[in-house]
Structure 1
Amino acid sequence: MSRQLRIIFPGAVYHIGARGYERSFIFKDDKEKQHFLDILTRASKKYDFTIHAYAIMGNHYHILAETSSPNLSQVMHYINMRYGKYYNIRHKRKGYVFERRYSAFVIQKGEAVKRQVQYIHMNPIRAKIESILGTYKWTSHNRYVGMDKESPAKCDYVLSLFGEDTKTATAAYEEYMCKSKVLNKVRVETGMYGVGIIGDKSFVKNVKLLFVNKKLSEEINTRSEIKKIFDYKEIIRAVCEFYQITEVLLTAKKGAWNVYKKVLIYLLSADGGLSGAEIGRMLEIHQSSVSKAISRMEKQIKAIKWKAEEIDKIRIKYTVLKEMLIK
């Protein structure tokens, strides 16, 4: 049986969850819950991974998060591997800690995000761990109402969906959380290949269209992620728009190694799926030079935070992502 595919793109919001092996308790006391929270905090800083909400229960967790880069797999590997190692050492055991791969549903920004936050924060009430929202301290709810300054959750975006100023937004959030009619599990739209997509019909349709290409059906049994292959013209347009330069200057043979062209070469490879030979022919550059440029850019992106952020800002300018993500 093939593994469930992941939909990966910059700026995506995910509802992520994982459960203990054979549904066993993997967060047995406050010390373990705090250690997991510390790992989340480190992951958010290391990978520029925004945590909007979370709930750490006895045998599972929920996280609502946003990735600025298409790096969900690396983030979750970091989180689950480190906690699994800690748990096994502490309990002097070996073997699996989590039951299976984490689940990750793609969430539309806006109203769908509000519903996910509510579902996550209401977990302790549904599990009858608490009867009054906020008495269970291992969710991000108290961060939203100003009672937990240490939480790694960033609530600015979600609160902005409830009101323009903090006081109004917080009051509206608390009222929304008390609406009993949406306490039940949220409805999940099943996307292609069993991937969960939560949002309105237009969003679900756009996500499906975004990731449709012939190679997917051919590689369905060997791929674990779906990464969009963008048209090279779209990538060139986005780079030109970001740097405020013309396509003629960007692709001209003269001045082949200006900084903009290095970025273009990297994106044509990473997001356009073009080979070194194809990029070389397009820009009239030797294939070995293309390979060196890609390698240098990859190192810069890993080592220099502002360079990684710059690449992500260019990616958001791809037309189809702009239409989906700018809300």
Structure 2
Amino acid sequence: MARPLRVDIEGGTYHVMSRGIDRCVIFKCDKDRYHFLDILASAQERFRLQIYAYVLMDNHFHLIVCTPDANLSRALQWIKVSYSMWFNAKYHRVGPLFQGRFRSELVDSTESWLVELSLYVHLNPVRIKALSLDKLRKQAEGAGWVKPSEEEAQRRLDALRGFRWSSYAYYVGIRRKVPEWLNISEILDRVSSRGARAEYLRLAEARVAHGHEERFENQLKNRLAIGSEAFLEQIKSICTATDRDIAGNRELRQRVSWERVISEVEQICGKSWEEQQARGEWGRFLVYWGAQRFAGMTLKEIAGKCGYRDYSAVNMGLRRFIMRSKADSQIQYAMKRLEKVCKVQT
């Protein structure tokens, strides 16, 4: 069976969804969800993703992201592998956690398409059987045959307002301190130039009270892109008649080079790269950390630069270094200095 077409373009905006294999639960507790959000924060920095919205359901997640560097496939692979390895180790399981490749659709970032998509993503927590929205009820409400009762609508509103694992609370002001890695202004600015949070709240709650709508949901099914006719024609012109992935023609840009990271660490630690190879020196692990975080290098690439045949030694050393940094103020200071000189503003 041919793999679904994937278009990685610079500055592309995407809806992304990935589900647990056999619809299994991928978030068993709050700690799992916190860890996944930490991975999103790291991915935002490492791959220069712009993360506009998210929702974490029990057995799947949705994201809205923008890719300045045309690297959606690489970024999502890293997110899923990173979380899967952690999840499998925690719960003593083996095998894939996610069901195949992630699903994605390019989204027209003009007009109201992004706002519509964000509402679809944020309303996921109320589209569940426990809130009287099984498959048949969704079809009935979507066709306008039935409307939710006042009690049903209120239960759904309460569920939406109380759901902790989406970006909705930041959009409507329930939570004020927005994480640095989450960009809500890109969509809110399209809602209204004034009182955007209040207007977004009105839009979301009006849809909950009105009942389930299938129109936008149906537009996402088996589609490469969603948007205006002009946008769809533009995407068609980019694609060729092939059933394989289409990657950006430009190589993924590294924000800083391997050599730059080494040079900065040499200045921070006051020792040469050769001196940092000695036993007991943590400077080389600071280089590994910086290369992964600010140069976008994989463990395999770092191992290759160091002359290792296998990246397991790099992985183990890096994990121990990060654990040690939590209790070592000197390492914390060095990491902050490296971040300051290497971090690229997006």
TMscore range, shorter length: 0.5 to 0.7
Give me the whole-angstrom Cα distance separating, in 1, the residues matched to 2:220 and 2:203: 26
Same amino acid, percent of matched pairs: 27
What letter matches 2:39 in structure 1? I
Give me the whole-angstrom Cα distance separating, in 1, the residues matched to 2:167 and 2:213: 19
Equivalences for 1:90-239 in 2 at 5 Å?
A: 90-109=90-109, 110-127=111-128, 128=130, 131=156, 132=158, 133-148=160-175, 149-151=177-179, 152-165=181-194, 168-180=195-207, 183-185=212-214, 186-187=216-217, 195-212=223-240, 216-217=241-242, 220=243, 223=244, 225-227=245-247
Cα deviations across residues 279-319 of structure 1 (Å, max 9, x unaligned)?
A: xxxxxxxxxxxxxxx99x9878948765x97xxxxxxxxxx
**Cα separation, partners in 2 of 1:16 and 1:31, compared to 1, 3 Å:** same
- Whether the 8 Å CA contact 2:14–2:64 is kept in 1: the answer is yes
What letter matches 2:199 in structure 1? A
Give me the whole-angstrom Cα distance separating, in 2, the residues matched to 1:189 and 1:196: 10
| Residue aligning to 1:18 | 18
| Residue aligning to 2:83 | 83
Corresponding residue SS for 2:120 = helix
**Cα separation, partners in 2 of 1:150 and 1:164, compared to 1, 3 Å:** closer
**Cα separation, partners in 2 of 1:182 and 1:155, compared to 1, 3 Å:** farther
Corresponding residue SS for 2:182 = coil
Give me the whole-angstrom Cα distance separating, in 2, the residues matched to 1:64 and 1:21: 21
Q: Which moved more, 1:141-150 or 1:117-126?
A: 141-150
Aligned-pair distance for 1:147? 3.1
Give me the whole-angstrom Cα distance separating, in 2, the residues matched to 1:156 and 1:226: 30
Aligned residues: 235
What letter matches 2:117 in structure 1? Q
Equivalences for 1:296-311 in 2 at 5 Å?
A: 302=295
Aligned-pair distance for 1:211? 2.4
**Cα separation, partners in 2 of 1:72 and 1:42, compared to 1, 3 Å:** same
Give me the whole-angstrom Cα distance separating, in 1, the residues matched to 2:63 and 2:228: 21
Corresponding residue SS for 1:53 = strand
**Cα separation, partners in 2 of 1:163 and 1:41, compared to 1, 3 Å:** same
Aligned-pair distance for 1:88? 0.5
Q: Structure 2: 5+ residue runs without aligned partners? A: 132-154, 261-293, 297-341
What letter matches 2:235 in structure 1? V
Give me the whole-angstrom Cα distance separating, in 2, the residues matched to 1:80 and 1:102: 9
- Whether the 8 Å CA contact 1:189–1:198 is kept in 2: the answer is yes
Cα deviations across residues 138-187 of structure 1 (Å, max 9, x unaligned)?
A: 0100111233325442111111011113xx11111111112325843424
| Residue aligning to 2:31 | 31
**Cα separation, partners in 2 of 1:228 and 1:36, compared to 1, 3 Å:** closer
Q: Which moved more, 1:129-138 or 1:60-69?
A: 129-138
Cα deviations across residues 50-103 of structure 1 (Å, max 9, x unaligned)?
A: 111110000000001111111111110111001101110111010010011100
**Cα separation, partners in 2 of 1:76 and 1:182, compared to 1, 3 Å:** farther
- Whether the 8 Å CA contact 1:159–1:170 is kept in 2: the answer is yes
Aligned-pair distance for 1:188? 5.2
Cα deviations across residues 116-135 of structure 1 (Å, max 9, x unaligned)?
A: 11011101111247722220
Corresponding residue SS for 1:97 = coil
Output the aligned Cα RMSD: 3.0
Aligned-pair distance for 1:195? 4.8
Corresponding residue SS for 1:226 = coil
Corresponding residue SS for 1:13 = strand
Give me the whole-angstrom Cα distance separating, in 2, the residues matched to 1:24 and 1:190: 22
| Residue aligning to 2:7 | 7
- Whether the 8 Å CA contact 1:88–1:94 is kept in 2: the answer is yes
Equivalences for 1:236-275 in 2 at 5 Å?
A: 270=251
What letter matches 1:94 in structure 2? V
Cα deviations across residues 28-61 of structure 1 (Å, max 9, x unaligned)?
A: 1111111111111111111110111110000000
Give me the whole-angstrom Cα distance separating, in 2, the residues matched to 1:88 and 1:162: 41
Give me the whole-angstrom Cα distance separating, in 2, the residues matched to 1:13 and 1:98: 23
Corresponding residue SS for 2:53 = strand
Cα deviations across residues 247-302 of structure 1 (Å, max 9, x unaligned)?
A: xxxxxxxxxxxxxxxxxxxx6xx59xxxxxxxxxxxxxxxxxxxxxx99x987894
- Whether the 8 Å CA contact 2:52–2:187 is kept in 1: the answer is yes
Q: Which moved more, 1:20-29 or 1:182-191?
A: 182-191
